[in-house]
């Protein structure tokens, strides 16, 4: 039995001021066959990682293709996408014949001329391998679950958790289902329900926590093989944006249809009920200061690099400085130039520094202050579940009572190492501000005595009705208040 695996992934914010090129992939995940590290998966490479670990024991040969992935930003350069796509497809042609594919994709990647990158890749892969090859795909729940990709794949499994702490477990599911299909033990059939809504679904909060727990309990029972919820990625202006439910059953399409419909209707009933309360900057910081225990974690989702934002908005930082808040830290602020200046100045130096507020109007105004360089770290990283996320060179500066983490590689806050790399202990701070939507909760949730969400003037608008879509199929809630669910579409 021969299985081919590869990865091509990014999360595209089509409104981002930061275009994505081949260099951005080289800065993140850019592995040719056999080059993938053995310690842990990287972004969207879990199918390769688990396939490599299980191949010998389970009697199949794994043929490794290239793995390309970039941090979220704007639309990928067309020529660069085609170069990476064609490299993987050429590798697949040379690997033929193969019995199955294990593809680690994101699901919200857009390139110039390709609004459905994953659908394009799967269509071309299917043309190479033919109808009898079993194609298994792992996707991020912040994907666009298009009909093109559903029609070309045999098995699609999405991460269930947000934050995405279950990427390895879901890759195991993909491999299990592919192997069982090839061995004739199951006959997977898929059903998709379209809720016609754009919404955020943090699974660390109710009601999503209990819904995910119920879904996981359903799998492997009564002919249900897998259940996935496509949350959608609200900052991708593509036609098939929106929440969808995917159910895979063992040979029984009616059973899959019924469960997809039941869960889809439940999600429709949760419109407006799954997102946390957001404060403005002044109110959010005030709420945190007034709380009588530490640390209080304040999230800045509007400037989340994980959604394609620059991560250099200064709204919260300026408020902390101007109101003389003590025992506070904030990170990450993406500013490679400021990082370099801090390294040039050296640890302990006191310098006048301009930082933040560089990339766009939504970045706010730069901070001009006398700072003390309190921490420096070359080639730093932070944890995100089982993976290591590179943050590049880091510098920590102190402005009054606020410690600021500056980074060279743009990324969101995921692990406590973001602060600890440069000598800041977040558990000892009164206020910890993180630029992230919900991925921070995996590491910061357990230490936080209180979590507050603040809606700054960063580019990731929290209200979808304020996003200037041009391609989205209408009607859809909340853009259209009376939008009805479309129901079963596959």
Q: pLDDT confidence of 294, banded at 50, 70, 90?
A: very high
- Measure the N-to-C terminal CA separation of the chain; round to a whole number of Å: 30
How far, CA to CA in Å, does 142 sit from each of 251, 272, 352?
Answer: 27, 17, 41
Task: Return all residues near 278 (Cβ < 8 A) that are at least 6 apart.
Answer: 284, 453, 454, 455, 462
The full DSSP string for 461-474 is -SSGGGS--SS--S
In angstroms, rounded to a whole number, what is the distance separating the alpha carbons of residues 439 and 451?
13
pLDDT of residue 388: 84
pLDDT of residue 280: 97
Q: Phi/psi at 135 (nearest 5 deg)?
A: -100, 120
pLDDT tens-digit readout, 470-490? 999 999 999 999 999 999 999
Interstrand relation of 296-299 and 431-434 (parallel, antiparallel or unpaired)? parallel
Q: What is the DSSP letter of 12?
A: B
Secondary structure class of 328 (helix, strand, coil):
strand
Mean pLDDT of the chain: 97
Strand partners, 73: 12
Helix 281-290 / helix 315-322 crossing angle, nearest 10 deg = 50
Q: pLDDT confidence of 370, banded at 50, 70, 90?
A: very high
Q: pLDDT confidence of 63, banded at 50, 70, 90?
A: very high
Among the listed residues 222, 207, 266, 219, the one whose alpha carbon sits nearest the alpha carbon of residue 247: 219
Q: 201 is written with which tokens?
A: 């679904």
pLDDT of residue 460: 96
Which regions of 222-366 does DSSP assign to beta strands (E)?
Answer: 224-230, 244-250, 278-279, 296-299, 328-334, 350-355
Burial code (b: 16+ CB inside 10 Å, e: under 16) for 115-151 equals bbbbbbbbeebbebbeeebbbbbbbbbbbbbbeebbe
pLDDT tens-digit readout, 188-235? 999 999 999 999 999 999 999 999 999 999 999 999 999 999 999 999
Q: What is the DSSP letter of 75?
A: P
pLDDT of residue 489: 98
pLDDT of residue 119: 98
In angstroms, rounded to a whole number, what is the distance separating the alpha carbons of residues 363 and 12?
19
Other CB atoms within a 10 A radius of the CB of residue 401 amount to: 17
In angstroms, rounded to a whole number, what is the distance separating the alpha carbons of residues 99 and 415?
39
pLDDT of residue 385: 83
In angstroms, rounded to a whole number, what is the distance separating the alpha carbons of residues 21 and 121?
18
Among the listed residues 384, 409, 372, 383, the one whose alpha carbon sits nearest the alpha carbon of residue 394: 409
Q: pLDDT confidence of 387, banded at 50, 70, 90?
A: confident
Question: What is this structure's pTM?
Answer: 0.95
pLDDT of residue 84: 98
Largest CA distance in the chain: 69
Least confident of 173-177, 289-293, 388-392, 418-422: 388-392
Burial code (b: 16+ CB inside 10 Å, e: under 16) for 38-52 equals eeebbbbbbbbbbbb
Angle at 344 between CA 343 and CA 347, to 5 degrees: 50
Query: Is pLDDT at 107 greater than 90 in this prediction?
Result: yes
Query: Is pLDDT at 257 greater than 90 in this prediction?
Result: yes
pLDDT of residue 362: 96
Angle at 299 between CA 295 and CA 300, to 5 degrees: 145
Angle at 40 between CA 35 and CA 44, to 5 degrees: 80
Q: pLDDT confidence of 412, banded at 50, 70, 90?
A: very high
Q: pLDDT confidence of 386, banded at 50, 70, 90?
A: confident
């Amino acid at each position: 039995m021969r299985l081919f695996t590869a990865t091509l992934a990014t999360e595209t914010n089509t409104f981002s001021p930061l275009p994505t090129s081949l260099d951005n992939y080289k800065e993140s995940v850019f592995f040719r066959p056999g080059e993938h590290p053995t310690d842990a998966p990287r972004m969207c490479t879990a199918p390769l990682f688990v396939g490599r670990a299980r191949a010998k024991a389970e009697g199949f040969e794994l043929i490794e293709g290239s793995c390309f992935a970039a941090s979220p930003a704007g639309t990928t350069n067309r020529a660069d996408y085609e170069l990476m796509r064609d490299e993987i497809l050429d590798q697949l042609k040379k690997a033929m014949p193969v019995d199955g594919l294990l593809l680690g994709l994101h699901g919200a990647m857009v390139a110039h001329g390709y609004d459905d990158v994953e659908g394009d890749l799967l269509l071309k892969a299917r043309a190479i391998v033919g109808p009898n090859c079993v194609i298994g795909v792992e996707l991020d729940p912040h994907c666009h679950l298009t009909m093109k990709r559903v029609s070309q794949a045999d098995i699609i499994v999405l991460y269930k958790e947000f934050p995405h702490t279950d990427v390895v477990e879901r890759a195991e599911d993909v491999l299990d289902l592919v192997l069982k299909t090839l061995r004739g033990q199951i006959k997977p059939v898929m059903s998709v329900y379209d809720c016609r809504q754009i919404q955020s679904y943090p699974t660390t909060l109710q009601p999503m926590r209990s819904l995910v727990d119920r879904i996981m309990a359903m799998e492997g029972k009564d002919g249900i093989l897998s259940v996935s919820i496509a949350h959608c990625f609200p900052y991708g202006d593509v036609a098939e944006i929106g929440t969808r439910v995917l159910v895979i059953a063992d040979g029984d399409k009616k059973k899959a249809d019924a469960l997809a419909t039941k869960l889809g209707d439940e999600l429709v009933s949760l419109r407006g009920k799954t997102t946390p309360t957001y404060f403005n900057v002044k109110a959010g910081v005030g709420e945190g200061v007034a709380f009588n225990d530490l640390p209080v974690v304040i999230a800045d989702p509007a400037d989340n690099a994980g959604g394609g934002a620059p991560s250099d908005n200064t709204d919260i930082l300026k408020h902390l400085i101007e109101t003389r808040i003590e025992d506070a830290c904030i990170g990450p602020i993406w500013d490679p130039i400021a990082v370099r200046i801090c390294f040039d100045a050296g640890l302990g130096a006191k310098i006048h520094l301009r930082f933040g507020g560089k990339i766009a109007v939504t970045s706010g105004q730069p901070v001009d202050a006398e700072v003390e360089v309190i921490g420096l770290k070359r080639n730093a990283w932070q944890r995100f579940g089982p993976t290591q996320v590179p943050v590049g060179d880091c510098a920590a500066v102190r402005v009054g009572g606020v410690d600021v983490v500056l980074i060279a590689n743009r990324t969101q806050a995921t692990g406590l190492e973001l602060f600890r790399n440069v000598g800041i202990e977040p558990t000892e701070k009164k206020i910890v501000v993180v630029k992230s939507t919900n991925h921070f909760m995996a590491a910061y949730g357990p230490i936080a005595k209180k979590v507050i969400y603040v809606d700054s003037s960063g580019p990731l608008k929290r209200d979808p009705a304020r996003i200037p879509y041009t391609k989205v199929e209408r009607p859809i809630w909340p853009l259209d208040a009376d939008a009805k669910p479309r129901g079963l579409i596959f």
